[in-house]
Amino acid sequence: MRKLLVVFALLCVVSTSVPAASPIGYTLTDLGEMFNSGTTFGAKDINESGQVALNLDGIAYIWDDGNLSPVGGLLNNNTSFAINDDGDLTWTYNLRAQYYNGVSQTQLPTLGNDDGLTSGWDINIHDHIVGTSRVSTINATRGYVWDGTTMTDLGSLPGEPNGDSRGLGINDAGVIVGEGGDTGVPVRWVGGMIEELPRAPLDGLVRGAAEDINEAGQIAGTLLNSSVSGGMAAKWEADGTLEQLGRLAGHGYSRAEAINELGDVVGWSTPV
């Protein structure tokens, strides 16, 4: 499960665990002067201990209690980091999903035993990783879960045997969320079974993706219109109840990226 603590300008937080009138307290922390040099960087994920996984010009770094250090033993050109509560990582290197256990780097296999592209999107406390893998034999991109040994195809929606899917988030109970179907709708996998999450067709929001899930089973994601030109940040309770989280004033698109254990959602909003 991905967790975010620091929120920057133009990002927005929707807190559903406190009354609307209550102030939300956040402390903005500078993660290092090296990020003021105009280089390409990004804070990708944070765990419960406050360790932050970052990417600086393709090099992996961990920020831990004020100390910023490159992750030893990793090759360069890395993207798409996630970190679990033990400090283990998943990411994508040269278009292949990777795993790092604090000592060594392992390249994940692919679905279909071919050279399909893979990505690592999230990692839970059991070092189970979810992401996507290109399967050339069916010309599809499929979500997967890797348990340290076996790469399992998450499949797609019923009636779409060769359909696409993406695994984007996993909690410690092994519940996976993401996107399913060729048109792309928010889905959840429980015990290996896929189920669609509610959408808002009356508002024209018929597509979308579930991005993250917390230990209570609450989900953050985004609903989209058919042309994906308009979007709405969304939250689903564990029972599937949908809540549209709105957009900033004058904006036509909002997106939810992550959810914490309090049910607070972080994301962004834009006029376009």
In 3D space, the residue among 112, 87, 90 whose CA is nearest the CA of residue 102 turns out to be 87
Whether 28 and 6 have beta carbons less than 8 Å apart is answered as yes
Q: Report pLDDT for 122.
A: 96
Q: Report pLDDT for 29.
A: 66
Q: What gap in Å lies between CA 199 and CA 178, rounded to an integer?
A: 14
Render pLDDT for 202-243 as a digit per residue (tens, 0 to 9). Answer: 899 999 999 999 999 999 999 999 988 889 999 999 999 999
In 3D space, the residue among 118, 202, 228 whose CA is nearest the CA of residue 166 turns out to be 118
Q: Report pLDDT for 176.
A: 98
Q: Report pLDDT for 26.
A: 52
- Global pTM value: 0.86
Mark the ranges of the chain whose per-residue pLDDT is less than 70.
1-43, 72-80, 113-115
Q: Report pLDDT for 2.
A: 58
Q: Report pLDDT for 6.
A: 38
User: Exposed, middle or buried by CB within 10 Å (0-12, 13-18, 19+), for 200?
Assistant: middle
Whether 259 and 222 have beta carbons less than 8 Å apart is answered as no
Q: Report pLDDT for 236.
A: 97
